[in-house]
Amino acid sequence: MALLLSTACAAHGGESIRMATGRSYVVANGVSLLRQAYDRLGMQVEEVDVPVERGLRMSNEGSLDGEVARVEGLEQHYPNLIRVPVAVLATSVEAISVDPSIRISGWEDLRRYSLCIPHGIKAIELPTAGMKTYAVNTAQNIIKMLQAKHCQVGVIAGPTWVDFESLDWTGIRSAGRLGAVPLYHYLNKRHADLVPRVAAVLEQMRADGIIGKVQKAADDEAAAARIRALRRAQIEPAK
């Protein structure tokens, strides 16, 4: 391990890895972890604030170096990206609705409804492919469309509760949780030599409890924001 990391430092010392970050809570946590990982390799992380879908295209084209935290399988759709095979974080996914009769227990249950989903969030876009979906740019638009009954179910990631807690959630209720989705760091293929090195560092950070500590803090903050938002909507949150 020590030899591997010292070799990486020699080959890439002082280099910056440019990644799209946007303004997502989960990405901010991922960047924090990746800064630590790349620091151990003698490298820096440079954040580029672009929308999630555009950032993904830029990473695939090579104008950016990679993605912070994306769902597994992305490389099948963006062949110039290589997944670092150690999850950086995980995000929960939840269905929300204004209709109290709608209960969702799995992804296939969503097929019966019209869905509002966040544009560019592949952890939601890929599992809902082939369903009746309306992709919107922000969680605020998902909430407004639900409240106006332009769609029946919204599908959001856990960090949405933190990112958009201050929105008007009136009438919004949980329709069911869809589980946790692991998220991975991706690099453009020109950085293929870095993949095993970054993976080794992330494995060590996981063994040291660093990743687990960040994950727990993120989960706790999202859970607290969720409860506050649903209570303001005058709906007692489901356990």
- Given this model, what pLDDT does residue 238 score? 57
Q: Is 59 helix (H, G, I), strand (E, B) or coil?
A: helix
Q: What is the pLDDT of residue 160?
A: 85
Task: Using pLDDT thresholds of 50, 70 and 90, give the confidence band for residue 5.
Answer: very low
Among 85, 51, 44, 87, which residue's Cα sits nearest to residue 65?
Answer: 44
pLDDT the model gives residue 236: 53
Distance CA 200, CA 94 (A): 32
Count of CB atoms within 10 A of residue 216's CB?
A: 11
What is the Cα 207 distance to its own chain's centre?
22
Tell me how far apart the alpha carbons of residues 114 and 27 are, in angstroms, rounded to a whole number: 28
**pLDDT given at position 237:** 56
Residue 46 β-bridge partners: 18
Between CA 36 and CA 120 the distance in angstroms is 26
User: In this prediction, what percent of the chain has a pLDDT beyond 70?
Assistant: 91
Q: Give 13's pLDDT tier (boundaries 50, 70, 90).
A: low
Per-chain mean pLDDT for the chain = 90
* pLDDT-wise least confident of 71-85, 170-184, 217-231: 217-231
The tens digit of pLDDT for each residue in 110-145 reads 999 999 999 889 999 999 999 999 999 888 899 999
Rounded to the nearest 10 degrees, what angle do helices 210-232 and 195-207 cross at?
80
Buried b (16+ CB within 10 A) or exposed e, 117-136: bbbbbbbbbebbeebebebb
Rounded distance between C-alpha atoms, residue 129 and residue 33, angstroms: 30
Q: What is the dihedral of CA 56, 121, 28, 17, to 10 degrees?
A: -10
To the nearest 10 degrees (0 to 180), the angle between helices 195-207 and 2-12 is 130
2-90+182-221 carries CATH number 3.40.190.10 = yes
Report the distance separating Cα 51 and Cα 14, nearest Å: 27
Strands 133-136 and 81-97: unpaired
Q: Which of 115-124, 159-168, 217-226 bottoms out in mean pLDDT, i.e. has the lowest?
A: 159-168
Q: Is the dihedral of CA 230, 231, 233, 234 positive or negative?
A: positive
Q: What is the pLDDT of residue 7?
A: 43
Q: For residue 61, report the phi and psi dihedrals to the nearest 5 degrees.
A: -75, -20
pLDDT for res 66: 96
- Across 34-50, b (16+ Cβ under 10 Å) vs e yields bebbbebbbbebeebeb
Q: What CATH number does the domain located at 92-180 have?
A: 3.40.190.10
Q: Is pLDDT above 50 for 4?
A: no
- The reply to whether domains 2-90+182-221 and 92-180 share a CATH topology is yes
**Percentage of the chain modeled with pLDDT above 90:** 72
Q: What is the pLDDT of residues 14-51, one digit of tens each?
A: 689 999 887 777 888 999 999 999 999 999 999 998 88
Residue ranges covered by each domain of the chain: 2-90+182-221, 92-180
What pLDDT is stored for residue 81 in this prediction? 98
Q: Which amino acid is at 70?
A: R
